[in-house]
Structure 1
Amino acid sequence: MGSGGGPNGPQGEGGWRLSGSLEEFLAVAGVYLRSRPALHTVALTVSDALGRRGLDLYGDEPPRFGWRAVSGEVDAVLLWTPPFVPMVVGGDAAAARGLARVLAGGGGLVPGGVGGPVEQARAFAGEWARTTGQATRRTFRKRLYRLGTLHRPALPPGRARSAGEGDRATLERWHDGFAADVGATVGLCAGAWVDAGLARGGIRLWEDGGRPVAMAVATLPVAGSVRVTTVYTPPALRGRGYAGAVTADLSARVTAGGDEAVLFTDLANPVSNGLYRGLGYEPLAEFEEYAFAAGPDGEAR
């Protein structure tokens, strides 16, 4: 996939333009992304991290960016940071199908899947299957929540505190434990993930009896929104209220700073969905991810 042309350059199918330039992407699509910061939380935080820490943040393969404009207004965005699958942000089914055709005919890096809001992800996967003959398989369903009124739970023994350098070994183990639980990487290797979290002061721990027993992590605020992520309790300590306590503490800190708090859950996990609803998080949207593989079945499912 090449640079594709900027806002005044060649236009792809369905009005899509592709670029390898983060600066161009944000200049053209930044206002659109910031117009709905909760829905666009991942694209905002990832592009912010790329700008602060470099385009090689997630790997050696450079990121790809794209946008679709209708009557001069951006209404859909592509953010692709290999080795992760492309993300379709906004738009509709027609926009997603057009993007699938553009990437299928781009002659460059081939995506191994796609992620996005349910309608767009399904449309992209279906068009990819039709165009390429590859089989597609849904691998993940998640729900985005936004905090309404925080309902503090009954607190277990212990207290909340910020993580420090002395917690590094624990945090690295918990990073890997969380990744194993959700069946995916957190985005960075354990050491780099801890470095970034400690540097921004974004890792909050619940401590009981002088030892950490649970964690929750906050992204840096972008466009007035903060994503709570990587909520984790080691298996032997679950069911004691630690995750709810540390998430409530972190959520209160986020909103006290004037930002909104959002988070994702795995729809296959009723425990976490019930926990966050109990804290006052309200469903906002649902997302899916698909993996692509060569095979005779060309239908999305």
Structure 2
Amino acid sequence: MRPDDWHLTHDLDGFLARAGDFLRSRPALHTVPLTVTETLRTRGTNLYGADAPVFGRLERAGEVHATFFRTPPHRLNLTALSPEQADTLAVRLAGLGAPLPGVSAEHGTATAFAGAWRRHAGATPVLRERLRLYRLGTLTPPNPFPAGRSRITGDPDRGRLALWNGEFAVAVGEAPPGDADPWTEARLAGRHFTFWETPDGTPVAMAGVTPQTAGQVRVGPVYTPAHLRGHGYAGAVTVEVSRAARAAGAREVVLFADLSNATSNALYLRIGYLPVADFTVYDFPVSRDR
């Protein structure tokens, strides 16, 4: 395996022409690259920032074995790699001379790449979070359901959605940047949101879902403001968006949960989600003296 087996491009359409079948072959595990590339395809490749996204594929003898994408300033996102493949990618990217803020991938892949990046770029990886990917099995609504109903959001709800998405970002340690409008556009782009409302019509929780791509839909973010938790609202809205995704024909309904949050993991198991794989996110802090 050689570093030049990795083919890098800014051309999204060209990347999907070569790697699309590979991504669609494992829609649950490839949910993030599938949904992000679809959002970029439909909303524009400058959605996440001024710098052009970078896409890469590992190809030998005409067959794609792995891919990555990065939408600056965000982390590198990888499909599953062997340690050797991770090393060759680190060599290739380190040779470009540009720092990376971090990596997100299945646990073994992320850890292998983080070690390779330390060796070849001199950056010390810092564990940021561990996530578990779940796939919906038999949907099991909570009993009793909290009083109220679900409601699909519309334009008048944009302010609350922006506020709650911002609060969610802060809660998981990713505070929004100071320039709120581009951040809000990127955060809300390509997702449909549903509120859970109390009987008097007060929104008390939200859940987002990605559009269906390659037969899969990803639920998230799921958020209840801190003062409203403990009433079953998050479970109710997650059940409703999961049910709607299945009714719309999604073969795979998936979501991520932070492994440090025992409450959310237990909730998803109760309502019928089954573990698929663990993912890990590392940051690569840049030393002040570099």
Q: Same fold (TM over 0.5)?
A: yes
1:265 match: secondary structure: strand
Q: Which residue of 2 aligns with 1:16?
A: 6
**TM-aligned CA distance change 1:278 to 1:86, over 3 Å:** same
Deviations 1:177-214 (A, max 9, x none): 111111126896235544654xxxx1111100220000
Give the Cα–Cα distance (whole angstroms) in 2 for the partners of residues 294 and 53 of structure 1: 31
Partner AA of 2:107 in structure 1: V
Q: Which residue of 2 aligns with 1:258?
A: 249
Runs of 4+ residues deviating >6 angstroms: none
Q: What is the Cα deviation at residue 112 of structure 1?
A: 1.4
1:70-109 mapped onto 2 (5 Å cutoff): 70-107=60-97, 109=98
Give the superposed CA RMSD: 1.8
Q: Which residue of 1 aligns with 2:39?
A: 49
Give the Cα–Cα distance (whole angstroms) in 2 for the partners of residues 284 and 234 of structure 1: 28
1:267 is aligned, of 254, 259, 274, to 259
Deviations 1:220-246 (A, max 9, x none): 000000000010101110000000001
2:79 match: secondary structure: strand
Q: Which residue of 1 aligns with 2:223?
A: 232
Identity over the aligned pairs, expressed in percent?
45
Instruction: Report whether the alignment pairs 1:211 with 2:202.
Output: yes
Give the Cα–Cα distance (whole angstroms) in 2 for the partners of residues 191 and 238 of structure 1: 27
Deviations 1:151-186 (A, max 9, x none): 011210111111122222221211111111111268
Q: What is the Cα deviation at residue 287 of structure 1?
A: 0.8
Report the TM-score, using the length of structure 1 for normalisation.
0.88
1:143-222 mapped onto 2 (5 Å cutoff): 143-154=132-143, 155-184=145-174, 189-190=183-184, 193-194=187-188, 197=191, 202-208=192-198, 209-222=200-213
Q: Does the Cα contact within 8 Å between 1:88 and 1:96 map onto a contact in 2?
A: no
1:133 is aligned, of 113, 122, 129, to 122
Q: Does the Cα contact within 8 Å between 1:133 and 1:294 map onto a contact in 2?
A: no
Report the TM-score, using the length of structure 2 for normalisation.
0.92
Give the Cα–Cα distance (whole angstroms) in 1 for the partners of residues 48 and 185 of structure 2: 13
Instruction: Report whether the alignment pairs 1:25 with 2:15.
Output: yes
Q: Does the Cα contact within 8 Å between 1:160 and 1:206 map onto a contact in 2?
A: yes
Unaligned runs of 5+ in 2: none
Partner AA of 1:30 in structure 2: G
